């Protein structure tokens, strides 16, 4: 079962392949982010160099798929034709305290009218799309 309706475009790795380790990780049920090999700074989204020390020694590491809701919004307007009639849905910004407090955006699965509180604990949920022309996996969030 999938959370999102059929017909949405599949995410693709950027032409420079910088985000490829993230998408490969999702296929294995792993949440991958970057960490600087020189100074240890965590960062998201993917970049070629560290925002802190400007080193090019960026590593991809697996992090635990748990965090807290930093911000959220209930979305009513469909941003793609496949989402017509799907709304509302809840989008969250999740802070990963064990990974330098980096923040990731995703959908909060469950009742679209659920009460959402800043600071609520969430865990990553991996939604595979194995039947797609090029299989992919999305990361959503679910309250603990």
Whether residue 106 has pLDDT greater than 80:
yes
Q: Phi and psi dihedrals of 78, rounded to 5?
A: -70, 125
Residue 5 is predicted with a pLDDT of 80
Give the pairing of strands 58-63 and 31-36: antiparallel
| pLDDT one-digit tens code per residue, 34-44 | 999 999 999 99
Q: How confident is the model at residue 119 (pLDDT cuts 50, 70, 90)?
A: very high
Q: How confident is the model at residue 65 (pLDDT cuts 50, 70, 90)?
A: very high
CATH class of 65-144: mainly beta
- The partner residues of 105 in beta bridges, in order of sequence, read 93
pTM of the model: 0.92
* 8-state DSSP, 98: G
Could you tell me where in the chain the CATH 2.40.50 domains are found? 65-144
CA-closest candidate to residue 117, choices 80, 51, 71? 71
């Amino acid at each position: 079962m999938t959370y999102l309706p059929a017909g949405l475009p599949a995410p693709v790795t950027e032409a420079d392949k910088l985000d490829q380790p993230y998408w490969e990780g999702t296929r294995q049920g792993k949440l991958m982010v970057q960490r600087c090999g020189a100074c240890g700074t965590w960062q998201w989204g993917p970049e070629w160099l560290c925002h802190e020390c400007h080193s090019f020694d960026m590593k991809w590491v697996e992090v635990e798929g748990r965090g807290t809701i930093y911000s959220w919004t209930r979305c009513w307007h469909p941003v793609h034709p496949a989402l017509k009639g799907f709304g509302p849905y809840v989008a969250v910004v999740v802070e990963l305290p064990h990974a330098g407090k980096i923040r990731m955006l995703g959908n909060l699965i469950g009742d679209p009218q659920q009460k959402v509180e800043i600071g609520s604990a969430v865990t990553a949920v991996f939604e595979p799309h194995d039947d797609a022309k090029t299989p992919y996996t999305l990361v959503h969030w679910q309250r603990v």
